[in-house]
Structure 1
Amino acid sequence: MFKGLAVLLVFQLTGEIIAFGSHLPIPGPVLGMILLIVCLRFRTSGRLVEDIERTSSGLLSNLGLFFVPAGVGIMAMVQTVQSEGIKIGFILIASTFLTLIVSVWIFIQTRKVVERHRETQ
């Protein structure tokens, strides 16, 4: 499990370095995840993939714990949340709808690419 966690952290660090060095408007962890997906795409078997899968499953099974710091942060800033609550709520709703729209669009585009790939085989 430690090897899988080390690999995940190395990819996250690599993404952070690329984001910081190139001043891209993409978060480092997202770049690291993209790099990890590319690397896993070319290496689909082996012990390393199993280690990453086991570590990822462990992290996902305890995902609720990662929300504790955010909840504590909200409680620490309760006055700000109360005074700006309507604005925060509007931004949350708007960003949720935007995320849904972009996700559906990406899914449709990906499905088209996969269908074209299947037709050529």
Structure 2
Amino acid sequence: MLGSSLTIMIVAAGAPATAMQASVDPRVEAEVAQGRSRVLVELRIPDGVRPDGERRRAIARAQDDVLSRLRRTDFRLVRRFESTAFLGLEIGPSALAALRAMGDVVASIVPDSVLRPSDR
């Protein structure tokens, strides 16, 4: 019995981990289904990054990684942010599929839209 338990543990340890996927707002899904969508891509950067210069470098590296992986997709760069971990993009279906699969560096994809103040 011990041998079979050990075999199961070894097989489980050798199994590939499931890849993280980025969270996609349903409004982005709907807009991309109709053609293109302007989005904000929230990037994952290491938690321990504190000093301003170090944080900016981590953001720039994450942005470079995403942009290089989007190279052969239907996207347009709208804006690179220097001090916040976001990218502004206009994307089509192939770019959305690529971004969704970049869970290692992309946390979420949300619409880039103007929010109006609500009346009180």
TM range (shorter): under 0.3
Instruction: For CA contacts below 8 A with separation 6 or more, give which structure has more relative contact order.
Output: 2
Richer in strand (by share): 2
**TM-score for both structures, normalised by structure 1:** 0.26
Larger helix proportion of the pair: 1
TM-score by length of 2: 0.26
